[in-house]
Chain A
Amino acid sequence: MLTFLILLPVITALVILAIPGHYRFIIRCVALLGTLETAIWAAVLFFRSVPGTPDYQFEQLVPWISAGGLHVNYHVGIDGISVGLVLAAAWVGFAATAVSWDVERESKMFYILLMLMISGSIGAFASLDLFFFYFFNEMALVPTFIMIGVWGWGTDRQAAAFRITLYLTLGALVALVGLVALYAATGTLDVTELQRQLAGHPLPRKTQMLVFPCLLFGFGTLVGLWPFHSWAPQGYASAPAATAMMHAGILKKAGLLALLRVAWPFLPDAVEYWMPVLAWLCLGNLLFCGFVALRQRDLNLLVGNSSLAHMGFAFLGLASMNVIGLTGTVLVMVGHAFLAGLSFALTGWVRHQTGTVEMLRLGGLLRTMPFVGSMMILCFLAGCGVPGFVNFAGELGVLFGAWKGTVYSLHGWVLAAAWGGLVIGGVYMMRAIRLVLHGEPKREWADVSDATSGWRRLPFVALLAALVLFGVAPGILTRRIEPAVVAIIKMAGQRAQPAAPLGATAAMQR
């Protein structure tokens, strides 16, 4: 079933490939149908997954390579952590396809790349083999670069495309070195196999200290961990709306998922060592990116920076290293997936209608586009962490987790600063609402049009509905997340014996 879900967008892409390029309407219909079906099946998968168990579900294993000392299997499966992300990927993928109605040039290529991106994201979340995780992640990244370069906005989009390409490739390769080192030490990249091997026999501390920084900074770069974040705002500002939605909303979470699934359970000693550093770096995300967002004049740059600030919460939750903190992190991840998707969809609409996202040039848009305007207000409120949206639940969990974490090692005022980050978030979101939506309507924008037809409104409504649904009833998610998180914490509780004799550790590795 998971394989079907991963393949569905690829099949859609193949069908599109067979349609001549000038039948734009048909291409678009096929893409919409394909992604809608993916979204529906992802929802079915989500509600059919059994809550309350840490086991992987819908598992499938196909041997792939077993030669020359290399053993890799195609292994997919979901647990409580990834099931929400798979749902978000399919759902935001559908919304991204739906808001791409304004792509006119080479739309066939565009939709094919978008389908590959959706498939790669779902694949990355579903992979239990880290080799395939990397594979799917790259499969989704490469279209990003091309889409920014070809369909992007602004004069410096080529520079942005190159920057994002090099930055993310460097991050991915650094992470790959970490994975390779893990492979060299254990002989497998299969998460379930690693769990089996390392249960009771944690890796030697030296290996952990070698692997962990590679994973943290490699995947951290992919997520936009301060100070490796500078690719993000400009990249998102230049990207077409659908690409920004998929990348900021979905693909970035793959790095967090890998950290949560690999680094935290299998490298606990290293995590403990690096936790304070991570806590300080996530303050960089929360405060630095928050302050930068405060000063933006470009709506897209503001949303890009605020998305980095949200990643700060996710990292803070990771650094707290307890059940409620990690659960909060996963909630933030899922919530931000929908939130970023919605934000970039809305700014994309504004950009298409007015041709600009300069906040000082905009103003009073709420009168000319009441639907999009009110959606934007709701979306920004969700971004501030107002109760009723899933982001609130996630951020609350993270802060509780960090509060508990202060007892051990997190400084109290890291936590205080995180509260400060929330306040900054409120300020810049309110500022954006005031500048863009409120105030006197400018004559320039008198004839912009709102999303009036049901089809146009559907993607926005679908994303907001998810934010509200999980916000009002976060239990649907947490019941699935918590057992998986508990298993991670339990695994992380095992520490490498500092004085294990050399032969013994070698035997453990075998």
Chain B
Amino acid sequence: MNSGLISIELGVGLLGLLVLMADLWIAPANRRYLGWGAAAALTCLLVFGLGTLAPQSGTGFSGLYVVDPLARFFKAFFLLSGVVVLLMTVEYADRLAVGLSEFFALTLFAVTGMLFAASANDLTMMFVSLELITVTFYVLNSFQRGKLASIEAGVKYLILGALASAFMVFGIALIFGSANTTQFPELALRQRELSGSRIFLTGLALVLAGLGFKIAAFPFHGWAPDVYQGSPAPATALLAVGSKAAGFVLLLRLLLGAVPQIAAEWRGCLGGLAVLSLLYGSLCAIPQRSVKRLMGYSSIANAGFLLLGVATVSPAGSLAVLYYMGAYCFTVLAVFTVLCVVMNCSDTDDMADLAGLGIRSPVLAAVMTLALASLAGVPPLAGFIGKFLILRAVVAAGATHPGYYGLAAVAVLGAVISLYYYFGIVRMMYWGGEPRERSGIALTPGAGIALLVCVVGILYLGIAPHGLLQLSADAIAPLQPSGAAVVLSEHLGVVTSSGASR
């Protein structure tokens, strides 16, 4: 038992409790400062906790929990998005009628769940951490009780989330029944024999369906548009970034870490899901008028892009997934922060409310343009490098199966369609007809800091990708158990040969 391993998670969880307690003594008018405090504490955890205090690697709790570069990568990711979302919530505070401190606390609990998910090394651990995330989101999504759309979002997420959990539990039961273990390393050792067991494969498919819900991939995407549209903007942002990333880290650990051989056999299926998500999300985003709803569909499309990376079943693909996720984090958080600020002035998130933003607040419009351009994959922004890495992984995998060239073609198509709908928003901001209001929009310090973090991230990852690439390359190392996967080493050859040629 090594409880030092989970010091970060404990810290964030305790912080949540502390916020709840502090609520008792702080006057309602001052509660928004709790958000500042929580954000500062999370920043400290991110800078000092992750860097020095917590152990750098190790396994604990009889193998349920692991700290490795992959976990640390995602822990940093979740802490950072937690900080930005908390700052965003401070900005959004006026629109949450009651329970601001609870909103902060729930955000912290969700982040705790994500931190645990990053380290899950066992199916039960995976399930428990995912439930912690999902249950907090049931509350967060329906937080604006006065708004019908918010209640609808909560109920939809509740019902579909419960369904997904049921799938996952059933799948875990089947896996445990056939493999007699729930730990990833043991599954990895026995995957050759297990790949013949139909019960095991059914169980795995059910677990993947549950994860598909978390990442909003087709055909488990049904909840995304409504929930994105109805939830309070900070909750949507955390859902879009944190929840999706938690789904992907588990997907990587389970599919590529534990059962890479089966993943390689299922790559056609994974590629198919990626294509469907990509096309469905992109095509449905075109006619949307609500920006948050559009982001919901764009999130499905981005899940498709990320799945393309997973479907290559190669280190290059996993690397691309991590980098893409990092870039996606900053861009999506920037979009939602801008939306938060704009929605403070006008109650809706209709696209028409963005008209004239270029005149009302040039800074917000510029940040939004930058973020959308990055999402669309315009160089030299973060999103471009992410898309480039995904394309590289897919095209390189084409050497093993020509079907990957088809995936690359779909990726190009998806990128072009996405440019269309993202630039629709940009057009609205700069030359989209008469604005409904003409008053300027003031930028509060909280939103300012959040936007600054995002913009620096977008530009830094686009112009100097070296750092994050190196981190991602280190992070995917635990996904390649030595000698466990023949297929993997084949793919590795592509990367190392290109490395060796220099």
Identify the A interface with B (CB < 8 A).
64-71, 134-135, 138-139, 142, 145-146, 149-150, 158, 162, 165-166, 169-170, 173-174, 176-177, 180-181, 183-184, 186-188, 197, 210, 509-510
Contact = CB atoms under 8 A, between A and B. Distances in A.
A165 B495 contact: no
Interface string B437-472: 000000000000000000000000000011001101
14 contacts: A68-B469, A134-B379, A138-B378, A138-B379, A138-B384, A170-B416, A173-B412, A176-B388, A177-B391, A177-B408, A181-B395, A183-B392, A184-B498, A509-B497
A75 to B, nearest CB: 13
Contact of B466 (A65, A186, A509, A510): A65
A103 B473 CA distance: 49
Nearest to A151: B431
A83 B25 CA distance: 72
Interface stretch (B45-53, B242-250, B264-272, B419-427): B419-427
Contact of A510 (B398, B473, B501): B501
6 smallest A-B Cβ distances: which pairs? A187-B498, A69-B495, A68-B473, A67-B469, A68-B469, A184-B396
Nearest to B316: A69
B389 interface: yes
B427 A510 contact: no
Interface of B: 315-316, 319, 323, 373, 378-380, 384, 388-389, 391-392, 395-396, 398-399, 405, 408-409, 412, 415-416, 419-420, 423, 427, 430-431, 465-466, 469-470, 472-473, 494-502
Contacts of B498: 69, 71, 183-184, 186-188
A335 B107 CA distance: 62
A162 B392 contact: no
B316, B392, B399: which has the most chain A beta carbons within 10 Å?
Answer: B392
A170 B412 CA distance: 7
Nearest to B417: A166
Given A69-B473, A139-B380, A510-B501, 19 more contacts: A65-B469, A67-B473, A69-B496, A69-B498, A71-B499, A138-B378, A142-B378, A149-B427, A149-B431, A158-B427, A166-B416, A166-B419, A177-B408, A180-B388, A184-B396, A184-B398, A187-B502, A197-B501, A509-B497
B420 A162 contact: yes
Contact of A177 (B373, B412, B473, B500): B412
A149 to B, nearest CB: 6
Contacts of B496: 69
Contacts of A173: 412, 415-416
Contacts of B469: 65, 67-68, 70
B27 to A, nearest CB: 43
A173 B387 CA distance: 10
A69 B373 contact: no
Nearest to B416: A170
A135 B384 CA distance: 10
B319 A68 contact: yes
A183 B419 CA distance: 25
Nearest to B320: A68
Given A142-B373, A162-B423, A66 B396 contact: no
